[in-house]
């Protein structure tokens, strides 16, 4: 016996849960793995200190060029940027394009998903390096 074809209404009901799904959540573990690309120059967490680059505690919401004790380029100090998710995403794709004259030598991260994961990883640390 042959099954009757599904009506358009029934197909719509079956597809609705797939369409209504929220965007994929950021993956903190993937963000931590992505941070390994940054680790040679940056630290994060309690006890983090400036290396070749500034420590990244409390990055989101911080003004560019504001970490005490780090010697920023004039371009970075005078950029007028405040790091939010969108600004960081633009920057990490191509640092020298976002802040011409920056000292940061990094080819960038092009994957939107990887940037979102890295951002989520960074956002979990407050200005003192404690996890929120």
Q: Dihedral angle at the C-alpha atoms of 96, 69, 56, 41, nearest 10 degrees? A: 60
The total number of structural domains that make up the chain: 1
- Domain membership of residue 87 as a residue range: 26-123
- As given in the structure block, the two tokens for residue 91 are 């920057």
Distance, in Å, from the CA atom of 76 to the CA atom of 23, rounded to the nearest integer, reads: 33
Taking the CB of residue 34, how many other CB atoms lie within 10 A of it?
23
pLDDT digits (tens, 9 = 90+) for 73-83: 999 999 999 99
pTM of the model as a whole: 0.80
**75 within domain boundaries:** yes
pLDDT digits (tens, 9 = 90+) for 49-76: 999 999 999 999 999 999 999 999 999 9
Please report, for the domain that includes residue 37, its CATH number.
1.10.760.10
């Amino acid at each position: 016996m042959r099954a009757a074809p599904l009506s358009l209404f029934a197909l719509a009901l079956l597809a609705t849960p797939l369409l209504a799904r929220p965007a994929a959540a950021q993956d903190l573990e993937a963000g931590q793995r992505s941070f390994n690309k940054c680790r040679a120059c940056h630290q994060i967490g309690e006890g983090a200190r400036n290396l070749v680059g500034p420590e990244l505690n409390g990055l989101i919401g911080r003004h560019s060029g504001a970490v005490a004790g780090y010697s920023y380029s004039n371009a970075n100090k005078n950029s007028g940027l405040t790091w939010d998710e969108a600004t960081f995403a633009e920057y990490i794709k191509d640092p020298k394009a976002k802040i011409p004259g920056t000292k940061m030598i990094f080819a960038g991260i092009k994957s939107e998903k990887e940037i979102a994961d890295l951002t989520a990883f960074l956002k979990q640390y407050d200005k003192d390096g404690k996890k929120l």
